[in-house]
Amino acid sequence: MDANIQPNFLNDDFTKPKMSYWGQFGILLGLVIVGAILTGIMQFAILLSMIKFKDLLSTMGNETQLMNLMSKPENFTKVVLMQALGTFIMMAIPAYFFVKIVNGKVESYIGFKTKINIVQVLLVIVIALVGLGLSGGLGEFTKVLPMSKSFRAMAERMEKTYETGVMMFVNMKTFGDYLFSMLMIAILPAVFEELLFRGALQNLFVKWFKQHHIAILFTAICFSLVHFSIMGFLSRMMLGMVLGYVYYYSKSIWLNMLMHFINNGIAVTAMYFAIKSGEDATKTINETYPLWLGGVTLIIMIGLLMVYKKVCDKKNLSTNQFHHPINNF
């Protein structure tokens, strides 16, 4: 085997595609747009079953007021249905049909069939925990960035709307409520978002750009933008980049889903204990850490990703040699 070949590139296919990358991107974008339209129709129909049309019209331009109407106890089940179906239609279905159209082999393309080992799992758990400190540091860094008064006011309004939306799913009075919130905020986003952003979009960008660092960065920017949070943009972009490297080095979507779940699950757990203690759960959403801690965790994260890459390269190399014995000569 040529010693200059990076083991983590063994499974990459940089041959000329049957369909242009612009064409593939257009298909994925089109599927997402169709999914968004269908989601909008579905959610509007459910909204009309919860809120009178005249009351719904009165909330135009005031998302906080709309959220308050939706968060009434009698609407809880329908709100949950809106969230679950919306995420599934906008992310999971487009990802599936995109891969089906451009490749055909959904499970292998996305990384469901890639085998993983316990060392990779343990490293991903540690990476996820360290990522919390790095995310908190970037949150604090965002607060001190120079912004105009109008821009900061807009960012804070968007953040307030985001908080209100999250709190609709974390009214956790019992342990059963906690498990339900884990499903809605930790498990489903971990599955559906990873299918779209890493399984579909990042795979496309890596093959298109022929440079995985740029592909991971672009995917992370898209990942952060869809959360519509200016104050949390850098934190989510960082999370997207770490998830991108975790996926690129391992080729396994399972590890990404695990890390994404841990990240969201810890936040849900923190909110659950805050509510049980009679504290304001929204404080856990906006919790930040000192800038120095963000710098320290950044260095640790780089080191962890280097170790993770070596572990994945070793595993991928041994797997490749097992399936292709000629590489031993």
Per-residue pLDDT tens for 264-275? Answer: 999 889 888 888
pLDDT tens-place string over residues 231-240: 889 999 999 9
Q: What is the mean pLDDT of residues 188-206?
A: 96
pLDDT value at 324 more than 60: no
Q: Mean per-residue pLDDT for 186-191?
A: 92
93 band by pLDDT with thresholds 50, 70 and 90: very high
For a pLDDT cut of 70, what percent of the chain falls above it? 88
**Which amino acid type is present at position 232?**
G
Euclidean distance between CA atoms 219 and 193, whole angstroms: 12
Distance CA(79)–CA(151), nearest Å, equals 30
Is 0.95 topped by the overall pTM? no
Mean pLDDT of 290-312: 94
Q: Note the pLDDT of residue 120.
A: 96
Q: Is the pLDDT of residue 66 over 80?
A: no
Long-range contacts of 274-282 (CB under 8 A, 24+ apart): 275/170, 275/172, 275/173, 276/172, 281/167, 281/170, 282/163, 282/167
pLDDT at 154 over 80: yes
Average pLDDT for residues 166-170, to the nearest whole number? 71
Please name the residues in contact with 290: beta carbons below 8 A apart, sequence gap of 6 or more: 137, 140
Q: 251's torsion region: left (phi>0), alpha (psi -120 to 50) or beta? A: left
Mean pLDDT computed over 289-299: 90
Q: What is the pLDDT of residue 4?
A: 42
Sequence-distant (6+) residues with CB within 8 A of 280 are 274
Rounded distance between C-alpha atoms, residue 160 and residue 63, angstroms: 10
Report residue 320's pLDDT band, with 50, 70 and 90 as the boundaries: low
pLDDT, average across residues 58-62 = 69
Distance CA 311, CA 329 (A): 23
